[in-house]
Chains A and B, each alone.
Chain A
Amino acid sequence: MSLNSSEPLSLALPKGRLMEDVSNFFEQKGLNFSFDNRKLVSYDKSGRLKIFLVKNSDLPTYVNHGIAGLGICGSDVLYESGYKFFNLMTFEFGGTSMCIAGMKGHKKNDNERKLSVATKFTKFTSDYFHKQGIPVEIIKLNGSVELAPVLGLTPYIVDLVETGSTLKANNLEVLEKLEDIKVHLIVNPAYYKLHYKSIKKIVSILQKK
């Protein structure tokens, strides 16, 4: 970080499903960047942004510690991190939903004394059901969550559902949508206070229709 206003702002982008959407969106706004083979740091062509590529779930950590001032991240990941940021804008791309799903035709029977759920999103899941006063047992998984009901680990999962095709392929169905997940441009609060002028400029470029 530096006081010099001509210094580029630092922005962390998530590797993975969002990356293509993000770079297309930025290109439409005239902010072009590309990453050389396997490189994780790049600059946009106008020199306004220094861009880091980080693992999606680590992104909030980098922004919280001010290593990257800005970041683009889904509200699912932000919620799990527990950190607080300023939300500068919400993107139209990348939206999905957090859902509870189970085996097709599975009837919740009265012998199930508690809700048993496998998920990557343990904080969201426990907060969601605690708020409703529903006791829940949560089993943390790191991927391929849809296997849990198939293999009999838990009858239910809480996971992101975009098209539902993964669920379908595993004979699962959405029981209820719990929350809309949106992609946000976030900023470390102290970084915003020090660079609000150039950040406002970038936001207005990104918001231009």
Chain B
Amino acid sequence: MGTETIYIEDAYKHRQANEELGKLFTSWGYLPVETPVFDFFDIYQEFIPVEKDIYRLIDREGDLLMLRSDITLFLAKQMGLSLKDTDLPVRVCYSGTILRHQNREDISKNEFFQTGVELIGKEGKNADLEILMLLHSTFKSLEIKPIVHIGSRKLLDASISDFKEFDKKEILNMISYRDFEKLKNMLVKNVDKKRVNFLIDLFQFIGNKEELNTFIKSSGGLINSRESTALNDLINIMDSLTQLGAGNSFIIDLSEVGNQPYYTGIVFQGYIEGVDSAVVSGGRYDDLLGEFGFPAPSVGFSLLLRKIEDQLGKKFSLPDQENITDQDFISGFKKAEKIRKDGRIAIL
């Protein structure tokens, strides 16, 4: 499956990076799984943010199918069907292509390579930290320095819990695209003005934990208790990340509410200089597997590997190659073996 052609040097880089990550994930106890490339559309329909971005097809019986658009989603169904309580927690990793329509002229741009991990059956801060630190190690082993913006779906759910009528997908969209003018116009119908202004400031917030603490203090009594719990959870996570020496890779960004409808806890996206969109996204989704018959709290991330391959250094590039010109095969062969031992390429 796929529409993109990757040529020699790039294909090598891609494979090296993918193998490096596979080794890293395995050393943390995350073992590989494969998901189907297509499945029945109706199973996933309610979890798809934008339906027209999905490639759909009709099988011979007339059933509507979809091509894999998100590995986490396909994995959740698979896990939901096959896991037992005694299996938990489960740590899995995956890498494969996904297809989403991106409104571009070239169809090969609609394909992405997603590689990632899921920690299934473990809730709470420690599991969140494990995933965030594994992400940090992922950056280290790829020798890249993205910055990860962490927000909280739990915070959003706390903020909108007393709204009467609203379209959650629309709110998610407005906040993640930082369309606060539109959000304000919508909120004034639901809540009093003071609280509207507070919510607008809240979801605009980007900064470190000191800055968040200052914001919380200055907001008076406008924070409800569920919001306060969600914010404290974030601050605690940031504290631990700093203690673990990873503080510089993370920043609190409350407009990160997650582009997938299934998130329930922390949500994050990572950005890197020179790349035009987020390279990694993830978060906690405690209710998704339950939708497929097996409730289990989960957290994970997925990296769009192709987006960062231009940024990868020499460690991932094709080694130098040398042509052996000896007429005598035996002496040439011996020379070649020596060169290969040094990690270079020898061509007979």
Contact = CB atoms under 8 A, between A and B. Distances in A.
Interface string A79-94: 0001111110010000
Given A1-B273, A66-B276, A189 B177 contact: yes
Contacts of B177: 84-86, 189
A65 interface: yes
A64 B181 CA distance: 22
A193 B179 contact: no
Contacts, number: 46
A67 to B, nearest CB: 8
Interface residues of B, number: 18
Nearest to B256: A193
B276 A65 contact: yes
Interface residues of A, number: 21
A83 B147 CA distance: 24
Given A189-B277, A190-B277, A86 B271 contact: no
B306 interface: no
B276 A193 contact: no
A193 B273 contact: no
A196 interface: yes
A194 interface: yes
B206 A64 contact: no
A112 B92 CA distance: 61
A151 interface: no
A188 B274 CA distance: 12
Nearest to B253: A193
Q: Which of A3, A189, A191 has the most CB of B within 10 A?
A: A189
Contacts of B278: 189-190, 193
B275 interface: yes
A77 B253 CA distance: 30
A65 B274 CA distance: 10
Nearest to B173: A84
A144 interface: no
Given A84-B177, A196-B206, A188 B253 contact: no
A194 B276 contact: no
Interface string B234-269: 000000000000000000010000000000000001
B52 to A, nearest CB: 11
Interface in A51-88: 64-66, 82-87
Given A189-B278, A190-B276, A194-B147, 16 more contacts: A1-B273, A3-B273, A64-B276, A65-B276, A66-B274, A66-B275, A66-B277, A82-B103, A87-B179, A188-B277, A189-B177, A190-B277, A191-B276, A192-B178, A193-B149, A193-B206
